[in-house]
Amino acid sequence: MSLREKCPIINFGDLGDERGKLVVIEGAQAIPFEIKRVFYIYDSDKTVVRGQHANRESEFVLINVAGKSKVRITDGKEEIIVELDKPMMGVYIPKMIWKDMYDFSPDSVLLVLANTHYNDGEYIRDYDEYLKEVIGCNDK
């Protein structure tokens, strides 16, 4: 499976009308997991690189509900860059995928949905360690 297929862009339905836009994200419906955690990142400078980790258990959907950012995604073999610039689209990031978020616009609000409660122990923050662990997970 290619990295694009592993990490699809999800386009959410628009329930907007003349009063404005409305986007609904229901766990296990619009996205492939039940939501246990929501966090958002804002006030990150353009020069900042966040993320820089992979997760053994967590799956995420990243959505720029305001402004723009980019996410660089790799499985240790391929790399893709996704520009998050619309509140109606997100990118799904499964377990054991390395990600860096960067190039935040001043008005960026990056919303993250996760299938887990926070557990520092499931984060891999060292890229060499990630590469060691991910060998064998790829091509499954």
Which residues lie near ligand TYD (CB under 6 A)?
A: 37, 39, 41, 50-51, 118
Burial state string for 65-104 with b = 16 or more CB within 10 A and e = fewer than 16:
bebbbebbbbbbeeeeebebeebebbbbbbebbbbbbbbb
Q: Is-catalytic flag, 53?
A: yes
Nearer to ligand TYD, 77 or 125 (CB): 125
Shortest Cβ 108–ligand TYD spacing (Å): 12
Shortest Cβ 36–ligand TYD spacing (Å): 10
Are the beta carbons of 69 and 86 closer than 8 angstroms? no
Nearer to ligand TYD, 31 or 54 (CB): 54
Shortest Cβ 39–ligand TYD spacing (Å): 5
User: What residues contact residue 40 under an 8 Å CB cut-off, 6+ apart?
Assistant: 65, 109, 110, 111, 112
Nearer to ligand TYD, 47 or 139 (CB): 47
User: What residues contact residue 10 under an 8 Å CB cut-off, 6+ apart?
Assistant: 30, 31, 61, 89, 90, 91, 92
Shortest Cβ 102–ligand TYD spacing (Å): 10
Nearer to ligand TYD, 124 or 134 (CB): 124
Catalytic residue among 27, 30, 35, 53: 53
- Active-site residue numbers? 53
